[in-house]
Amino acid sequence: MTIPTHDPRDGSSQDTDITPTPQADVRAAAARADAVFRQLRDVSRADRATALRTIADALEADRADLVICAMAETGLSEQRLTGEVNRSAFQFRMFADAIEEGSYLEVMIDHAGDTPLGPAPDVRRMLVPLGPVAVFGSSNFPFAFSVAGGDTASALAAGNPVIVKAHSSHILTSRATFDVIHRAIVDSGLPADTFQIVYGQQAGVDLVQDPAITAVGYTGSLGAAQILISAIGERETPIPFYGELSSVNPLIVTEAAARARGAQIAQGLYASVTGSAGQLCTKPGVAFVPRTDDVIVPELVRLAAAAEPQPLLNAKIHESLFRIQGDLIASGGASALRASEPVGPGLGATPGILEIDASTFTAAAAEEAFGPVVVVVRYDTLDQLPAALDAVPDSLTATVHCEVDEAAGLADLVTDLQRRSGRVVFNGYPTGVRVCWAQHHGGPWPATNSQHTSVGVTAMRRFLRPIAWQSAPAVLLPAELRDDDASVPRRVDGVYQPAKN
Amino acid sequence: MTIPTHDPRDGSSQDTDITPTPQADVRAAAARADAVFRQLRDVSRADRATALRTIADALEADRADLVICAMAETGLSEQRLTGEVNRSAFQFRMFADAIEEGSYLEVMIDHAGDTPLGPAPDVRRMLVPLGPVAVFGSSNFPFAFSVAGGDTASALAAGNPVIVKAHSSHILTSRATFDVIHRAIVDSGLPADTFQIVYGQQAGVDLVQDPAITAVGYTGSLGAAQILISAIGERETPIPFYGELSSVNPLIVTEAAARARGAQIAQGLYASVTGSAGQLCTKPGVAFVPRTDDVIVPELVRLAAAAEPQPLLNAKIHESLFRIQGDLIASGGASALRASEPVGPGLGATPGILEIDASTFTAAAAEEAFGPVVVVVRYDTLDQLPAALDAVPDSLTATVHCEVDEAAGLADLVTDLQRRSGRVVFNGYPTGVRVCWAQHHGGPWPATNSQHTSVGVTAMRRFLRPIAWQSAPAVLLPAELRDDDASVPRRVDGVYQPAKN
């Protein structure tokens, strides 16, 4: 049995030569990853950084072919996918810089000495890689959250071998990306088994249950996550499951902002809701708009009416979108100002603009509709928002459009949004997540199930653990923990010391 | 129904006026904690630091009374308990220093600008407190891992309200400690509900299932942990359970070290195995001693034979110790060079020295015996150790006694021990955990179920989560994230900047 590939642009399917990885092969891959993990500790940070940069270069070199392959499997545009390959390459380079800089090791040295509690031994601490990491990419980012994504990059950067489970929604793109990265890894002199791939849903379950796997990075639906979480629950040894799962991303427009720049907000919001056919985890799914507004909502409807349909990623997402839109109307009480409609022959969909009153808004109108649909919630006063927001599941992001002179008065609202999300966006849109040191891509359950981020430099920390060494002979310490090393920033006897180059 | 107190020194029990907290009261406490959490964000780091120092002072001021109370409930010595109160006070002060220093906030600022991926918005990140934290202390540290322990100190330091579940094995000490800390909190001007306490096993379950609770810190047995973990599994919203669970702590003596300083090692090992009646999570439970040694083992036996019995903490631990010692002999094949014996009228026990050959050593001889018992494993060559260590559950610590000139040759062994533990100790003993920045008190499962430490400054991180702010007006940012603030170290545009005072 082989795994087919589907083209959402015309609804066609084709067989491939890719077969589901049998359990024995998954076990063998995990065993090889475990063996290679021991070799990887002899690879210097500099050599690991070089490998990551080689991967970035290789992705860019093969960008055109990768993009063509992904266009046929995802229906996403050439421009969008080209940007995504660039983002993946950028991410590998960012982690290369970070491991050279070395602060991610969190080196701390407390020399032996007298303390208020008596004489104390020398204690030194740093983070070390966890072990083989399993990575599950998402359907909606065939590069930046898939084989070449942030989980792969951060786990490799931290010094771990990685086994990715290819996403069935872009199986050929997964293999092609794997081949590019794998070749770059071998070309860099790293062991070949540093990076492996498995195919098929059962292989994913077998993977997370393998004793050699020490952590799982996952981006995708809550449903598939639950299958993996319960598979992990059957393990003898628990391991962390870092899941980025779902997000409704409430967006709030104040009356002043609506008055001052309604048309501009409508255009920005429309682009954020419909970009990549609305299939972004940070898409604003619920927009709180003042009842007095007579610009934003009509403009959203006008833009939606004028839009060409865009193909959705796969049949499941296509089917879900219309089912959930139906629920939002039937159970949630939203009315369709313009409903999203399926358009053949492929998996096309037009944008949908729904509307509901804040006073009748419930959780049934706040279900995540993955696709180009937004629910506008009309409110009278900002006082209504906390109760209305209680109906919205906690999210990756929350957004506020406001005017400068009213900002100070919104402190309580913003504090409330901080409690409900992992990133608060002002006068912008949550889509287009910047990849940088300060980024946090996470949020309270059900957005994610951990405190950690899957974007930004600190994503590495998910795949590291601390070890302390007490009274260790220098020769048995990692180089970065020796007194005569100053290649990384360190906290020595409680005081930060920059690296000396 | 009230909760009794037991005196392990004479086996007596007495009724108390403490009753199990009913479910309604647990819910009310959690609701108050949730309400107070919103107030706590208006408390400055300086005021929080002052409160922690006030707690430290109060613990020291009431030290004599607390110690007398704990002696009667734990059978631990005055000296040991006095040291433990001092350690608790020291811990509160350490966290006070850490929150003033501010690096724990992990402030990162990436200004808006052009990037290789195009124009990017301003993104700022820092850690914020998680919310109400439930703390479950252990029986064996009535102060430093209980009501006044590191979990309480680190969760409060991070800005969270705390609800402790009192340990039934030192119920009066728990209440007395709670009263001291609670008074200090109120005296410092913090809201009274910042710190609360509940009593009884069911109250503990109710607590972790309350929706307002956002994290659990736990030190204790794996069995009780499983009850809490499965109770947490029934929650609608998952929360982290930071458990410090069990540890066998292998210790290895090389032939050269045994030859050079056998008597000294015997005395140190004996003190580490029998201190606090062997009821320390870092007690070395298995000691690998070369077969050629004729000093260490005889000296251990001699010291054990000369020892007075010490009371164990409670009847359950007392019963378990002799049951497990019996298993180590019957199922594990260890022989008793000198068996631990129960001594009445209270819960006394004498030290036990068991012995087994590395070639017949299995997991059945490596079960944790919580009490003054060690299993000596006789080995011929260091090559035997990796296989023998496979029988030992991964632990908080691993210890090596070696000579300076052989250290370099032990690199592979030490790497192996790093994989199996969270702290590697050289020519010392794992008990007496230093409280400092660089400490890590954790280890692979079943030692703990998380990568995080429960001792040392980074223990705070368990109770914090990141938030990112995008393009936020300065007035809506936390002070530490504003451009004109330099009160804490920050990473600005990727570059570390020290605080300016």
Q: Of B449, B468, B472, B487, which Cα lies nearest the Cα of B124?
A: B468
pLDDT for the residue numbered A393: 96
Distance CA A413, CA A353 (A): 25
CB distance A424–B130 less than 8 Å? Answer: no
Q: Smallest Cβ distance to B120: which of A123, A436, A489? A: A436
Residue A435 lies in a domain: no
- Tell me which of A86, A236, A426 to substitute to probe the interface with B (most B C-beta atoms closer than 10 Å): A426
The percent of residues in chain B predicted with pLDDT above 90, rounded, is 97
- Residue A334: alpha-carbon gap to chain centroid: 30
Report CA-CA distances (Å) from B374 to B197, B245, B286. 36, 19, 6
Cβ separation A425–B491 shorter than 8 A: no
Handedness of CA A443, B444, B93, A111 (dihedral sign): negative
Rounded Cα distance between B353 and A131, Å, is 36
**Do B241 and B260 fall within a single domain?**
no
| Residue to substitute from B436, B448, B453, B497, interface A, most A β-carbons within 10 A | B436
CB contact under 8 A, A240 and B450: yes
Cα separation, B192 vs A314, in Å, equals 54
Q: What is the average pLDDT score of chain A?
A: 97
Predicted confidence (pLDDT) per residue in B182-193, tens digit: 999 999 999 999
Interface of B with A in 276-315 (CB under 8 A): none
Q: Do B117 and A90 make contact, defined as CB atoms within 8 angstroms?
A: yes
Chain A to chain B, count of Cβ pairs less than 8 Å apart?
209
The catalytic residue positions of B are 244, 281
Which CATH number does the domain housing residue B394 bear?
3.40.309.10
Residue in the structure block whose two tokens are 């096309």: A348
Q: Do A434 and B410 touch (CB under 8 A)?
A: no
Does residue A232 sit in the same domain as residue A272? no
Two tokens at B261?
Answer: 């300083």
> Within the 391-430 window of chain A, which residues sit less than 8 Å (CB to CB) from chain B?
404, 407-408, 410-411, 414-415, 418, 421-428, 430
Q: pLDDT for B95-111, tens place per residue?
A: 999 999 999 999 999 99
Give the single-character DSSP code of A383.
G
Please check the confidence at residue A127 and state whether its pLDDT lies above 90: yes
Model confidence at B428: pLDDT above 70: yes
Residues 55-94 of A with CB under 8 A from B: 83, 86-87, 90
The band of B4, judged by pLDDT with boundaries at 50, 70 and 90, is: very high
> Which residues of chain B have a CB within 8 Å of the CB of A422?
465-468
| Nearest CA-CA distance, residue B60 and chain A, Å | 13
Give me B477's structure tokens: 């940012």
Asked if the C-beta of A189 comes within 8 angstroms of chain B's C-beta atoms, the answer is: no
- What does the pLDDT read at residue B1? 87
Q: If you measure CA to CA, which chain B residue comes closest to A428? A: B471
Tens-place pLDDT, residues B268-289: 999 999 999 999 999 999 999 9
Find the helix or strand (DSSP H, E) in which A108 lies: strand A107-110
Residue A474 included in any domain? no
B155 and B58 part of one domain: yes
* DSSP element (H, E) containing B225: helix B222-233
Residue tagged 């951060």 (tokens): A154
Strand-pair category, A490-492 with A464-470: unpaired
In angstroms, the CA B69 to CA B73 distance is 7
Contact across the interface for A496 and B103, Cβ inside 8 Å: yes
- Residue A308, classified by CB atoms within 10 Å of its CB into exposed (0-12), middle (13-18) or buried (19+), is exposed
A41 contacts B491? CB cut-off 8 A: no
Domain that holds residue B420: 250-426
Inform me whether the C-beta atom of residue A466 falls under 8 Å from chain B C-beta atoms: yes
Is residue A5, in this structure, part of any structural domain at all? no
Do residue A309 and residue A207 come from a single domain? Answer: no
Q: Name residues whose C-beta falls within 8 Å of residue B360's C-beta, 6 or more positions apart in sequence.
A: B333
Q: Transcribe B440-481 into DSSP letters.
A: ----TTTTBSSS--SSSGGGGGGGEEEEEEES--GGGS-GGG
- CA distances from residue B222 to B164, B228, B352, B448, B449 in whole angstroms, order as listed: 19, 10, 23, 9, 10
Residue among B435, B440, B467 minimizing CB distance to A125: B440
Q: In the Cβ-directed half-sphere of B333, how many Cα atoms lie within 13 Å?
A: 11
3-state DSSP assignment of residue B414: helix
The answer on A257 and A213 residing in a single domain is no
Dist. CA B114–CA B125, nearest whole Å: 19
Residues A296, A311, single domain; the answer is yes
**pLDDT tens across A294-325, in order?**
999 999 999 999 999 999 999 999 999 999 99
Assigned domain for B291 exists: yes
For chain A, the domain total comes to 2
Give yes or no for residue B361 having a pLDDT over 80.
yes
**Domain co-membership, B227 together with B313:** no
Mutual angle of helices B63-74 and B78-101, in 10-degree steps: 120
Instruction: Give yes or no for A53 touching B (CB within 8 A).
Output: no
Establish if A476 touches chain B: CB-CB under 8 angstroms: yes
Instruction: Pick the residue of B434, B435, B477, B500 with the most A CBs within 10 A to test the interface with A by mutation.
Output: B434
B438 and A108 in contact by Cβ < 8 A?
A: yes
Q: What pLDDT does A451 receive?
A: 84
CB contact under 8 A, B491 and A130: no
**Same-domain check for residues A76 and A200:** yes
pLDDT digits (tens, 9 = 90+) for A322-368: 999 999 999 999 999 999 999 999 999 999 999 999 999 999 999 99
Residues B83, B197, single domain; the answer is: yes
Is the predicted pLDDT of residue A107 greater than 80, yes or no? yes
SS3 content of chain A, % helix, strand, coil (to 5): 45, 20, 35
B194-227 tens-digit pLDDT: 999 999 999 999 999 999 999 999 999 999 999 9
Residue B52 pLDDT > 70: yes
Let me know: does A423 contact B468? Beta carbons within 8 Å.
yes
pLDDT value at residue A441 = 96
Sign of the four-CA dihedral B314, B316, B317, B321:
positive
- Flag whether pLDDT at B501 surpasses 80: no
User: What is d(CA B413, CA B384) in angstroms, rounded to the nearest whole number?
Assistant: 11
B396 vs chain A: nearest CA distance in angstroms?
Answer: 10
- The helix/strand/coil state of B85 is helix
The answer as to whether B254 is a domain residue is yes
Residue B83: CATH number of its domain: 3.40.605.10
| Contact criterion met (CB < 8 Å) for A470 and B428 | yes
pTM tops 0.80, yes or no: yes
Q: Please check whether residue A500 lies inside any domain of the structure.
A: no
The 3-class secondary structure across A439-455, one letter per residue, is CCCCCCCCCECCCCCCC
pLDDT level of residue A482 (50, 70, 90 thresholds): very high
What average pLDDT does the segment A263-267 reach?
98
Do A389 and A454 belong to one domain? no
Q: How far is A469 from chain B (nearest CA, A)?
A: 5
Tally of CA atoms within 13 A in the half-sphere of A490 that contains its CB: 23
Tell me the residues of chain B between 94 and 123 that have a Cβ less than 8 Å away from chain A. Answer: 97, 103, 106, 108-110, 115-117, 120-121, 123
Query: What Rg do the C-alpha atoms of chain A give, in angstroms?
Result: 24
What pLDDT shows up at residue A146?
98
What six digits make up the tokens of A249? 């991303």
Burial string for B91-122 (b: 16+ CB within 10 Å, else e) reads bbbbbbebbbbbbbbbbbbbeeeeeebeebbb
* Residue A452, pLDDT score: 87
Whether B233 and B267 share a structural domain: no
- Rounded average pLDDT over B355-372: 97
> Does residue B440 belong to any structural domain of this protein?
no
Q: Is A428 within 8 Å of B471 when comparing Cβ atoms?
A: yes
Q: Does B39 touch chain A (CB under 8 A)?
A: no
**What's the gap in Å between the CA of B109 and the closest CA on chain A?**
6
Per-window interface: B 208-267 vs A, CB < 8 A: 237-238, 240
State yes or no: pLDDT of A501 exceeds 70: no
Residue A373: inside a domain: yes
pLDDT in tens, A456-480: 999 999 999 999 999 999 999 999 9
Contacts of A418 in chain B (CB under 8 A): 128, 467
Cβ contact, residue pair B466, A458, below 8 Å: yes
User: Are residues A116 and B41, on separate chains, in Cβ contact within 8 Å?
Assistant: no
In this prediction, residues B327-350 reach a mean pLDDT of 97
Within 13 Å of residue A457, how many CA atoms lie on the same side as its CB?
Answer: 26
> Mean pLDDT of all residues in chain B?
97
Give mean pLDDT, residues A146-169.
98
Same domain, A203 and A311: no
